């Protein structure tokens, strides 16, 4: 049973454990490793929102949101979006509700910041997280970004 789920910032004390998080090898094509996400979080500054998912004292996953970025400046500079950038639940901790918790925690953060829509993109194909996102209420917008399906949830 999930007892004490929470998100925590990345700190000097937990960064090594964060870097050691691994999804199943066959899922690695669907999500970047935490080390890449943390490098991007550094580069993107305030528009990246990386957090660790803890169940009690146990680190079970990593989630990163993007906040109010110009989506496709060439097509529409006014189209700024927020959403879920990365989600990595540890291979041996999947299927316990942690992914659902993290998606909802990001929704709450976006709502707090006044966002009306919550975007995500996913790879299709074998072991795709598509069903997970559809189950949580995301609907395809009909767009493809970087080869990935774009989904949206009204907040």
Binding residues (CB under 6 A) for ligand COA: these are 23, 27, 30-31, 87-89, 94-100, 122, 129, 131-132, 135
Distance between CA atoms of residues 60 and 116, nearest Å: 29
Minimal CB distance to ligand COA: which residue? 99
Q: What is the nearest approach in angstroms of ligand COA to the Cβ of residue 39?
A: 17
Q: What is the nearest approach in angstroms of ligand COA to the Cβ of residue 100?
A: 3
DSSP-derived pairing of the beta strands 76-89 and 58-72: antiparallel
Q: What is the nearest approach in angstroms of ligand COA to the Cβ of residue 77?
A: 26
Nearer to ligand COA, 76 or 135 (CB): 135
Q: What is the nearest approach in angstroms of ligand COA to the Cβ of residue 78?
A: 26
Is residue 69 within 8 Å of residue 82, measured between CB atoms? yes
Hey, CA dihedral for 27, 47, 82, 92, is it positive or negative? positive
Nearer to ligand COA, 72 or 92 (CB): 92
Is residue 106 within 8 Å of residue 63, measured between CB atoms? yes
Q: What is the nearest approach in angstroms of ligand COA to the Cβ of residue 88?
A: 5
Nearer to ligand COA, 76 or 134 (CB): 134
Nearer to ligand COA, 76 or 124 (CB): 124
Nearer to ligand COA, 10 or 37 (CB): 37
Burial of residue 101 (number of CB atoms within 10 Å: 0-12, 13-18, 19+)? buried
Collapse the DSSP code of 25 into the 3-class scheme (helix H, G, I; strand E, B; otherwise coil) and give the result.
helix
Collapse the DSSP code of 99 into the 3-class scheme (helix H, G, I; strand E, B; otherwise coil) and give the result.
helix
């Amino acid at each position: 049973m999930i007892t004490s789920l929470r998100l925590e910032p990345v700190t000097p004390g937990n960064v090594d454990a964060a870097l050691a998080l691994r999804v199943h090898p066959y899922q690695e094509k669907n999500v970047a490793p935490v080390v890449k996400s943390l490098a991007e979080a550094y580069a993107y500054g305030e528009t990246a929102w990386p957090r660790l998912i803890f169940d009690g004292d146990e680190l079970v996953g990593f989630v990163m949101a993007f906040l109010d970025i110009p989506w496709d400046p060439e097509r529409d500079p006014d189209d700024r979006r927020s959403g879920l950038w990365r989600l990595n639940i540890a291979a041996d901790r999947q299927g316990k509700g942690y992914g659902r918790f993290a998606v909802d925690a990001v929704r709450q953060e976006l709502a707090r910041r006044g966002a009306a829509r919550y975007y995500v993109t996913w790879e299709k194909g074998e072991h795709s997280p598509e069903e997970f996102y559809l189950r949580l209420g995301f609907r395809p917008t009909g767009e493809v970004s970087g080869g990935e399906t774009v989904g949206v949830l009204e907040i």
